[in-house]
Structure 1
Amino acid sequence: MTARRTIPTIRHRTVDVAGVRVAYRESGPADGPVLLLLHGFPTASHQFARLMDALGDTPYRLIAPDYPGFGHTEAPAGFTYAFDRLADIVEGFTDALGLDRFALYVFDFGAPVGLRLATRRPERVTGLIVQNGNAYEEGLSDAAREFAGLRREVPGNEERVRGLFTLEGTRFQYETGVADTGLLSPDGWTLDVHHLGRPGRADAQADLAFDYASNFTHYPAWQAWLRAARIPVLVVWGAGDPFFTPAGAKAYLRDAPQAEVHVFEGAGHFALETHLPQIAPLIEEFLAELP
C-alpha cells in the first residue's frame, strides 16, 4: 500500500497583544521547531492554508498570524496603521506565544514586517524564506516606485490608492504576470475583498499604503543583518510580479551568497497560488536542513 502524506490539523486561535486581538492559524507539533509565516497585502494568513497542508509531513510547527487591519485580527479604535506598528504587534505576538527561535517566511508586506523583527531580535531567526518580498531598490518595478512615491496630500492620490482595494484592483494583483490564470482560485481575491470591505479596513490599508515608502530607509539595515547573520536563505519568486521584479530576488545573493534562489516563469505576485507543487518541496527540503 502506498504511504500517504500526513494531513495536518489546522487550529485557529487568538491571543491578545497590547490590546490587539491577533487571530492566527497553526499546525504541527507544539514542541516542534517553528516556521513563522508572514503574509502580504491585501490578504491574510489564509494565503498559507494550502502550504500548511502541503507541509504536513514536516516536524515543524507552522504559525501564521493576521496583522492588524487584515483577516480576522481586531485592533482597537485609534490603532496607528504603520509598518513599525505592525512589526511591534508581530514581535509581541512571538513573545506571547513564547517563540524564542523560529525560521521566517516573508511575502510582500511580510518582508518589511519580518525583517524589522529580524533586526530587532536577530538571535531568534534560524532561517529565512523570501517569496516576492523586497529588500533591495533594484527589485522595485516602475509601478512600485510610482506607487510608493504617492503623497496623501496630493489631490487624487487617496482615490488612486483605494482603487487597489476594489474587486478589480485585488484581482489584478493575483492575475497579472500569471501564464495560466486557470490555476488561480477566485476564492483568494473574493475573501480578500470581503476583509477589505469590513468597517475601517479601507482606512487602515490606505494608511499603510502611504507609509510604504518608510520601508526604503530600512533596506541598508536589513541588508547588513543578512551579511552578519549568515543564516540559510531560500528565495522563491514569481517572475511576472508587477511590483517586485526578479532583480529583487537575485539581489539577495549580494548579502547572502549562500542563498538558494528560484525564479518561476509564469508565476505572478502570489506565486504560491500557481506554483505550490514546485515551491513546497523546496521549502520542505530547506526546513529539513536547518540547524
Structure 2
Amino acid sequence: MAPRPADRPPPIVPHRLLPGYPAPDDWWRVPATGQHYLDAGAGAPVLLLHGNPSWSYVWRRLLPVLSPHVRCLAPDLPGLGLSPRPVPPPSNADRYAAQLAFLDSLFTHLVDHRRIPPRGWTFVMHDWGGPLGIAWALRNPGVVDRLVVLNTIGFRWPPGYRLPLSLRSIRGVAAVAALAHLTNAFPRAAVRAGVVHRLRAEVRRAYLLPYAHRRDRGAVVEFVRSIPRDDDPAWRLLEPPEGRSRLARLPVFVGWGMRDPVFTPLVLDEWTRRFPQARVHRYADAGHYVMEDAADELGRDIRDFLLETARR
C-alpha cells in the first residue's frame, strides 16, 4: 500500500551504494504505513531500534552475527532512512505518540502477517530507539522479555547532565535549525564525531544517502528539536503510574561506547542504578556509534547474552 497522501514517499537508494547492507530480499514494508524494515534470520524476535540521524544501516555489522540465532527486525523510523516522510505533529508529546503509533502498526503487521509471536521479544535500542522502545514496552506489558541498551536514554536526563551545545542550538534557535536543515549539517557531523575510528568514505556516504535531498531531511531536525527539556510533558510517556517495575526485572544487557559526546557515562550510571541486574559492557575505545567502533566485540557480547538468557 502506498504511503498516506499527506506523507512524502521514501527516498530511493540503490543497494549497490550501501556497502554491507542486507540484500533487498530482506527489505520489507508495512502495508498500512509504508514503513521500511529488514527481516533477517529465524528464531525469537529481536527488534532493533535506531536513533537520529542514523537508520537501519547502523545495524549491518551486527546482523550477520545475530541472525543465525534470532530473527532480526530492523525498521527505519518514520521520517528517517528508507521510510516515508510523514508530516510532523505540532507538539513533542504528539510527535512521540505518532512514533509509537507507527510501532503499533509495525508490531501488528509482524504478528498478523509475518508469523512473529506476540510474546518473547527483545528490544535492542540506540539513541532515540531507547525512549521510544521503553515507552512502547511500558504501553504493551508482556511483549518484551529482554532489553539491550546501547548509548541511549529511557528516563529523564540525570541530575547534572547537559546536552551538547550543538544540539541545544538546533533545538532552541530556529535559525540554527533552518541552517542545519539546509546544509544537512547534523548527519554530516554525526558520521564523523559519532565514531572514534574513522568510517570509510563509502560508508559515510551510505549513512547520508537517505538525506541527500532537502525534502528528505525534515525529521532529522525535528528529532533534535523534540529532545525534551526537564519540564516537557513528553516525559510522561516514560513515567506511567505502573509498569516500570516489570521492566526493571527483565534481563538487560548494556553496551556502552565510553567516548560518546552525547550519552556520557553520567547517563550510563543512571541505567546501572535503575537496572542493577544488568550485564554491563563498557567499550573504552568506542563513541556514540558503538556498533561501528566495537562491532565485532559488541556483536559477540549481544549474541552471548541472547543465547544465555533464551527461554528453554
Task: Give the 3-state SS of the residue equivalent to 2:39 in structure 1.
Answer: strand
Q: Which residue of 1 aligns with 2:4?
A: none
Q: Is the 8 A contact 1:127 1:233 kept in 2?
A: yes
Deviation, structure 1 residue 144: 3.8
Give the 5 Å matches for 1:83-232: 83-98=96-111, 99=116, 100-101=118-119, 102-136=121-155, 137-138=157-158, 142-144=162-164, 147-148=167-168, 154-159=173-178, 161-162=180-181, 165-166=184-185, 169-176=186-193, 178-181=195-198, 184-198=199-213, 200-213=215-228, 214=232, 217-218=235-236, 221=239, 225-229=243-247, 230-232=249-251
Q: Which amino acid aligns with 1:110?
A: G
Deviation at 1:28?
A: 1.1
Answering whether residue 89 of structure 2 is matched by residue 80 of structure 1, we say yes
Counterpart secondary structure, 1:142? coil
Q: CA deviation at 1:90?
A: 1.3
Q: Which amino acid aligns with 1:238?
A: G
Per-residue deviation at 1:25?
0.8
Change (3 A) 1:119 1:80: same
Q: CA deviation at 1:16?
A: 1.9
Q: Distance in 2 between matches of 1:121 and 1:38?
A: 16
Given residue 205 of structure 2, which amino acid in structure 1 is its aligned partner? T
> Alpha-carbon deviation of 1:276?
1.0
Name the structure 2 match of 1:284: 303
- 1:26, 1:64 within 8 Å by CA — same for their partners in 2? yes
Give how far 1:222 is off. Answer: 7.4
TM-aligned CA deviation for residue 192 of structure 1: 2.8
The match for 1:261 is 280
Post-superposition offset of 1:164: 7.8
- 1:11 aligned onto 2:26: yes
Q: Distance in 2 between matches of 1:140 and 1:92?
A: 37
Structure-2 change in CA distance of 1:163 and 1:74 (3 Å): closer
CA spacing shift, 1:215–1:174, aligned 2, 3 Å: farther
- For the residue of structure 1 that corresponds to 2:60, the secondary structure is helix
Q: Sequence identity, in percent? A: 25
Q: Is 1:236 equivalent to 2:247 in the alignment?
A: no
RMSD value over aligned CA atoms? Answer: 2.9
Give 1:143 deviation, angstroms.
3.6
Match of 1:142, as an amino acid?
Answer: R
Q: Residues 223 and 239 (structure 1 numbering): CA distance in 2 closer, same or farther, change over 3 Å?
A: farther
- SS in structure 1 opposite 2:218? helix
Residue of 55, 59, 76 corresponding to 1:44? 55
- Where structure 1 has 5 or more consecutive residues not aligned to the other structure, the ranges are 1-7
Q: Match of 1:174, as an amino acid? A: V
Q: Quick check: 2:125–2:149 contact (8 Å CA) kept in 1? A: yes
Range with bigger deviation, 269-278 or 207-216: 207-216
The aligned residue for residue 79 of structure 2 is 69
Summarize the Cα distance change of 1:224–1:241 in structure 2 as closer, same or farther, 3 Å threshold: farther
Structure 1 consecutive aligned stretches of length 4 or more whose deviation exceeds 6 Å: none
The alpha-carbon distance between structure 1 residues 220 and 94, as it changes in their structure 2 partners (threshold 3 A), is closer
**Cα distance in structure 1, aligned partners of 2:165 and 2:233:** 12
Q: What secondary structure, in the 3-state scheme, does the structure 2 residue paired with 1:235 have?
A: strand
Equivalent position SS for 1:122: coil
Distance across 2 between alignment mates of 1:174 and 1:223: 38
Judge conservation of contact 2:39–2:71 (CA < 8 Å) in 1.
Answer: yes
- Is this contact kept in 2: 1:127–1:290, CA < 8 A? no
| TM-score between the two structures when normalised by the length of structure 2 | 0.77
1:173–1:146 distance in 2 versus 1, CA, 3 Å: closer
* Structure 2: gaps spanning 5 or more residues: 1-21
